[in-house]
Chain A
Amino acid sequence: MLASLTEFVDELRTMGIPVSMVEVLDAASAIEHTDLTDSANLRATLGATMIKNSRHYPAFDAAFDVFFGLAGSIESDASGADGSLDPGGGAAGGSGDDDGLLDALVGALTQGRHDQLRRLISRAVTLYAGMQPGRPVGGRYYTYRVLRRIGTDELFAGLLAALVSPQPGREIDRRLREHEAESMVQAVRDELEREVTARLVADRGARQVAASRRLPLVEDIDLMHATKAEIAQVEQAIAPLARKLATRLAHRRKHGRSGRLDVRRTIRRSLGHGGVLLEPQFKPPRPSKPEIVVLCDLSGSMATFARFTMQLTYAIASELSKVRVFGFIDGLDDVTEYFGTDVDFADGLVAMSRQADLVRSDGHSDYGRSFEEMWERYSDSISPRTSVIITGDARNNYRTPGERYLERIVERSRATFWLNPEPRRYWDTGDSVMSLYGSRCDVVDQVRTLRQLEDFVERATLPTVRRPRLAS
């Protein structure tokens, strides 16, 4: 057990989950109090002692399945079970028995018979996946082959028909059935993936399979090329980060004596010298209410990333009251109203893309003109209490950079941050004018993953010394 534990910990660390020495020791002593006959217990034990972040659970679960979760799930001999549950369809093994499998699956799912489902899936993998020992093919390929044979659409339709049919005037019943059918199809997918993984593990060993199935942690997902499912994960993780950024920006150094006299603490302190009021104590100054202005490049090349920054901004807006958002492509517009607290985020995005006035001529980014418009039209939204966050790749399509407008914006603000999703090595190549802009900002960072954003938030303290004002 100890040997496989260390191997498992190795795998977790390779995936990027931080597991400390103390936590491994905890896990080892917790295993002594765990009933190992049920893998669910072991999963709970290892999860509770070693995984301290809910974001890491999907990756942990996947690795756990490979290492511990699959013992005994392979049913190489499923013929007995098949015969009894497959009344209408032909004998297993023939090529024309797809309908039999489909019906049997629908039956098992709607009656909630999990063991039956498992046997069926196991049978399906044997028949349709065409797995050959030693063949270096990933599990997804086999899963896909079986799914195609079963036909997910047919399965969905079959499930819909089998669930209780709705009465007129009961739209809600119909929607509920659809929701249920969807999650059942997902259950088939999950079970299938498990079965395939189990067989791969038997063939190649846990370590190798784990390596080929490794999921990127949420914080390492590349935001520029994220899939839909990955974006959903990222969006869930954003709220705590936004809150942290909000408090960071609100943070002010504590000055010794800038607050009002604190009578209670003064008297309390005086007791040290027998009640003589020697040291006056002061209340700490109230934290300032920070104002934030976000300038966001919304051009086509930034689409995925822009969605992410908007989500971040949306989350910040629910923490702070004074947030203004400006979107720009080759023109700039105030888009704050699309992201208020009483607007749904997705609806806001749609409304913004339809109504906001972001394009002046050809719809390619024009930073110079956007900064100019920002300064000419909205310079009153920036004050010495405002933190400005600019997100964009600084690819200006060889147009006039207009850096003097950015300079003025920076000068008037409390601090200006630039987040660029492009890798640093691409900065200043081609039409990127990152250095020209970056040298004028307080902080410039590459932010391409949540982890980098976290680092930025960690470091994004405001400049402690006020910038020297340039004479205008």
Chain B
Amino acid sequence: MTTHWATPKDVNAGLAEVGYLADARIAQVVFLAERLDKPILAEGPAGVGKTALALALAEATGRSLVRLQCYEGLDEAKALYEWDYHKQLLRLQADEGASWGELEGDIFSEPFLLERPLLAAIRSEEPVVLLIDEVDRVEVETEALLLEVLDAFQVTIPELGTIRAVTKPIVVLTSNNTRELSEALKRRCLYLHIPYPTIERERSILNTRVPELPAVLADKIARTVAAIRQIPLRKAPSVSETIDWARTLLALGIEDLDDAATADTLHVLLKYRTDIEKTAKDLSLDFFEDG
């Protein structure tokens, strides 16, 4: 292991150095994941920093990041490995005189293997951080592909045998909870639910990510966003949208958040017309007169 954190506090400090503000719970789970060699399954609403956690972990530990973006229809050939059939075909044609035995052993060997993210993470000489992003997007059947990797950090290729990890990767899976993941997958992971941050934490995030922002405004923004999240909306504002909002206000030179300024910039924070109207109503902004 390149980095070995002694306590969860060190994890917190290490992540803070690269600009990721974890809370005590996140730090504890990351610490456990490293100690127990278990993957982290981070779940929570979109835009609260699940993917950012993996990126920050890679930066804090100095490891490189291997990323597998999940989507519907993802299969073995794109997640694990694939035989380079073009190359195999060429090899067959180039060597017409060769005996079958030679050829067979040859075309199913390493040079003809195309590494996909999971295999790449396993075979890497240097320890890596493996990010399996939006795992809830793949079908339940495809999830099974991941189990061997998550369980024992190994991949079995029928023609080559089992490939074990040289170095143990830190694995982070993220899910937006659009569907229930299978029990088998969850059992193998440490579960980390990341909710929306508290006002204090969001304020610190703003201070870190948008350092030019005046402290008074940051406080006001954090409080406003917290209030907006109390309203039942189709899509509550995420942390990344809060940051966008802060940057927008800064760019517009708005130094204090009054009714008009809020109403004019609400669309940065909220992405549905009905949500914007509802929020304006709840915060008693004269949205329509201004617009």
Contacts and interface: CB of A to CB of B under 8 A. Distances in A.
A344 B274 contact: yes
A16 to B, nearest CB: 15
9 contacts: A26-B190, A30-B190, A41-B28, A44-B25, A54-B193, A170-B258, A183-B230, A271-B88, A342-B273
A172 B262 contact: yes
Interface in A447-469: none
B284 A175 contact: yes
B92 A44 contact: no
Contacts of A26: 36, 38, 190
Contacts, number: 130
Interface of A is mostly: helix
Contact of A34 (B28, B44, B193, B232): B28
A18 B35 CA distance: 25
B113 interface: no
A136 interface: no
A244 B285 CA distance: 38
B167 interface: no
B85 A268 contact: yes
Interface of B: 7-8, 24-25, 28-29, 31-32, 35-36, 38, 41, 43-44, 83, 85, 88-89, 92-93, 107, 177-180, 183, 186-187, 189-193, 223-224, 226-227, 230, 232, 234, 257-259, 262, 272-275, 278, 282-286
A268 B286 CA distance: 64
A180 B191 CA distance: 31
A376 B177 CA distance: 41
B187 A40 contact: no
Contacts of B180: 53, 240, 244
Contacts of B193: 47, 54, 57
A243 interface: yes
Contacts of A40: 24-25, 28
A182 B36 CA distance: 41
A243 B179 contact: yes
Nearest to A43: B25
A244 to B, nearest CB: 5
Contacts of A47: 25, 191, 193
Contacts of A44: 24-25, 28-29
A275 B226 CA distance: 63
Contacts of B85: 267-268, 271
Contacts of A275: 89, 92-93
Interface size band for A:
35 or more
B149 to A, nearest CB: 17
A179 B187 contact: no
Contact of A172 (B31, B43, B275, B283): B283
Contacts of A175: 227, 282-284
Contacts of B187: 20, 22-23, 52
A48 B29 contact: yes
A45 B28 CA distance: 7
A161 interface: no
Given A49-B190, A268-B85, A171 B36 contact: no
Contact of B7 (A35, A48, A171, A271): A35
* Of B44, B177, B272, most A-chain CB atoms within 10 Å: B177
Interface in A157-176: 169-172, 174-176
B102 to A, nearest CB: 13
Nearest to B107: A271
A170 B274 CA distance: 23
Contacts of B35: 30, 33
A45 B262 CA distance: 40
Contacts of B274: 342-344, 347
A47 B273 CA distance: 37
A163 B150 CA distance: 51
Given A45-B32, A172-B284, A243 B178 contact: yes
B238 to A, nearest CB: 16
Contacts of A232: 232
Interface string A25-44: 01001100111001011011
Contacts of B189: 52
A244 B189 CA distance: 22
A346 interface: yes
Interface in A177-219: 179-180, 182-183
A35 B31 CA distance: 11
Contact of B234 (A18, A35, A176, A344): A344
Nearest to B86: A267
A274 interface: yes
B177 A176 contact: no
Contacts of A35: 7-8
Nearest to A175: B283
